[in-house]
A and B are shown apart, each in its own frame.
Chain A
Amino acid sequence: MPNETDYVSRFEAASKNADEPSWLAELRRKAIDDFQRQGFPTTKNEWWRDTSVKAIVESDFRDADGSPDVPKPLVNAATLEGAIGGHRVAFVNGKFSDELSHIGALPEGVFVGRLSDFAKAHPDKFEQLLAKTAKTDDAPFAALNTAFWRDGACVFVPKGQSIDETVHIVYLTQTNGHATIDHPRNLIVLEDDAKADVIEHYVGMDKCLAYFNNVVTEVVMGERAFLDHLKLQQESPCAFHVATMEIRQRGKSNFATNSISLGGRLVRNDFSTALDGEFIESTMDGLFLVDGEQHVDHHTKIDHLMPNCHSFETFKGILGGKSRGVFNGRIYVEKDAQKTDAKQTSRNLLLSKDATANARPQLEIYADDVKCTHGATIGQLDSNALFYLRSRGIGEAEAYKILVYAFAGDMIHRIKNLGARETLEAKLIELLPKATYLEEAS
């Protein structure tokens, strides 16, 4: 059975061949030590109590090596049939794909491309930025990623510049029969007054292929910077996906993410932001759709460190079959962070008696003049509403879709990229689990 030791010996073997600057080698060394010390988390760990990663621990993964070639249908899925325009940075089975990538003209000083290319072109900046936001001492998966990552995407927008078109970062996975592991590493940097719109997209074959994507995305935002981020998770129904997104925001910046999670067998998304300045706005939204035995967990952490910042969170889940959905939202308000306004909502729609939803708000407030609200609901479809629609001539299947869509549609409407929004609207309806569990008629 593979365990932490296997990862350590693999690290030792790989590090002998690595041709990297010494600071990076040291960073990786510290990361593997951090990983070894922490080990994989168990459900005894408070932060992991609702999500067991045993299946990941027990899997024997091989490193993704770029093979095999990805078939056309997967490429179409990955690009949402061409609906997402703009710049594309694509990786196939762990390797950058020149063929699927497309980077158009960019303003002066803007970088969009491979993280490994950014490291070569801007070694100083790379050293200043890498692993400064996503720490490894209390995050085993981020530690593992930091020790092993080979490549990923980088978006760097210098002061006052903006990228008008969407940057689409896409990771496609189709295994060769054996389960593979990859550690995508993304770095998004927006200096003061910079602006960008980024889609981070994971796509697997529709067939049930097991593999593991262990992602780290670091976001660094200067003053008044503006980032609109969409995380789109469409992994294979048997895939493991653990992603750590760490954000650092300076004064008056505005960060918004929307995590749309449709695939995967075991999915964990961590979003953490530190609001390090005044008048910052941070929005974290999410929608997950799970069926069968899928498990999707979102953990968010918002640290209000300074006064006058606003944070908004809305997470919705639609759960069918024997699936499980977890939302854990931690809001921390520092003593000096007066006039904080934090709003958190988690809503879950259970379509089956065997599905489970856990919603847990965690508020830690040390300031006395703040507004923090949270609410969590777990419910079923309203049978009276279903009857009302049917009594007007709308078929049962259609009425059911209308109601589920009414529950979730606003999360899709928040997507700014028009092509992505329209394609996902259709996709959501196509994927809706069958409802077997209705709220009792009154």
Chain B
Amino acid sequence: MSALLEIKNLHAEVEGNKILKGINLEVNPGEVHAIMGPNGTGKSTLAQVLAGHEAFDVTDGEALFEGEDLLEMEPEDRARAGLFMAFQYPVEIPGVNSSYFLKAALNAIRKHRGEPELDAMEFLKLAKAKMAELDMDPAFLKRPVNEGFSGGEKKRNDIFQMSILEPKLCILDETDSGLDIDALQVVAGGVNRMRSENRAIVVITHYQRLLEYIVPDYVHVMYDGKIAKSGGKELATELEAKGYGWLEKGGAAPAHAGA
């Protein structure tokens, strides 16, 4: 059986700048992976390339989702196949009602899965239940998507969307940035509720802080467009203690770090 996500030698660039320089990664259902690393090493680019943002050109390598060529798929088809990215900066969409938007998204995905579409009442019931779990005010549903939301509210809203859409693979791009400790716990709680043997989660973060709440099975360190080191959850703790300086000095890895 093929992996849920299999990335082989992935290279990508934006406007001629090479950012990803040969990423290899395998993610299986039930696993939680953390991708760490200093700023500007390509972590967010990896997330965006996987979600299908057109600003990035893939120049080499491949990414397979359940054995299918992910890079050939349109962003909406990736979402329908079960990939979800929580944005580092969720986009404000004035004039688009949150409830309308999310119902349209859910029904597009359900239709793809061959499930019946939800009507307004059924959707509202589901949405309210998920919102209660995330300590969100149901009034958010009536507001335009992310418009006027605080940073924390936007992140929470993305996690809310994720819980409604029930993807197979969740990619969280710096979901912890800009969150205070209370919001972080709520968001982490939301993510942990999503953990299941049928679903994988990839957490992209600069800090180890989030990984105290979402404990990963695997930790990868990215540096200069590649995965420089992979290990277990203890690697995150070591990085917290040692920082990323050793990467810049040319690669003497911290002790005990082995996958």
Contacts and interface: CB of A to CB of B under 8 A. Distances in A.
Interface string B48-64: 00011111000000000
Nearest to A441: B55
Contacts of B87: 388, 391
For chain B, give the interface size range. Answer: 20 to 34
A396 B54 contact: no
A393 interface: yes
A393 B112 CA distance: 9
Contact of A384 (B74, B76, B91, B108): B91
Contacts of B144: 406
B93 A394 contact: no
B201 to A, nearest CB: 17
Given A387-B54, A388-B91, A441-B55, A402 B96 contact: yes
Contacts of B112: 393
A384 B53 CA distance: 9
Given A385-B93, A406-B95, A394 B104 contact: yes
Contacts of A405: 95
B76 A393 contact: yes
Interface string B95-109: 110001110111011
The winner among B51, B79, B85, B91 for most chain A CB atoms within 10 A is B91
A contact face: mostly helix, strand, loop, or mixed: helix
Interface in A387-403: 387-396, 398-399, 402-403
A384 to B, nearest CB: 5
B109 to A, nearest CB: 4
Contacts, number: 81
A407 B95 contact: yes
B94 interface: yes
A392 B101 contact: yes
B86 to A, nearest CB: 10
A406 B76 contact: no
Nearest to B52: A391
A390 B91 contact: no
Select the residue from B51, B75, B80, B165 with max chain A CB neighbours within 10 A. B75
A399 B108 CA distance: 11
B51 A406 contact: no
B205 interface: no
A30 B96 CA distance: 53
A388 B93 CA distance: 9
Contacts of B80: 393
Contacts of A81: none
B114 to A, nearest CB: 14
Contacts of A394: 76, 101, 104-105, 108
A410 B95 contact: yes
Contact of A406 (B52, B75, B96, B109): B96
Q: Considering residues B54, B85, B165, which has the most beta carbons from chain A within 10 angstroms of its beta carbon?
A: B54
B90 interface: yes
B55 A390 contact: no
Contacts of B106: 393
A41 interface: no
A409 interface: yes
Nearest to A388: B91
A414 to B, nearest CB: 14
Q: List 9 A-B pairs, minimum CB-CB distance, nearest first.
A: A406-B95, A393-B79, A392-B105, A388-B91, A390-B75, A393-B108, A393-B109, A441-B55, A390-B76
Interface of A: 382-385, 387-396, 398-399, 402-403, 405-407, 409-410, 441
17 contacts: A383-B54, A385-B91, A387-B52, A388-B145, A389-B101, A390-B52, A391-B76, A391-B78, A391-B79, A391-B87, A392-B165, A393-B80, A393-B165, A402-B100, A406-B144, A410-B95, A441-B53
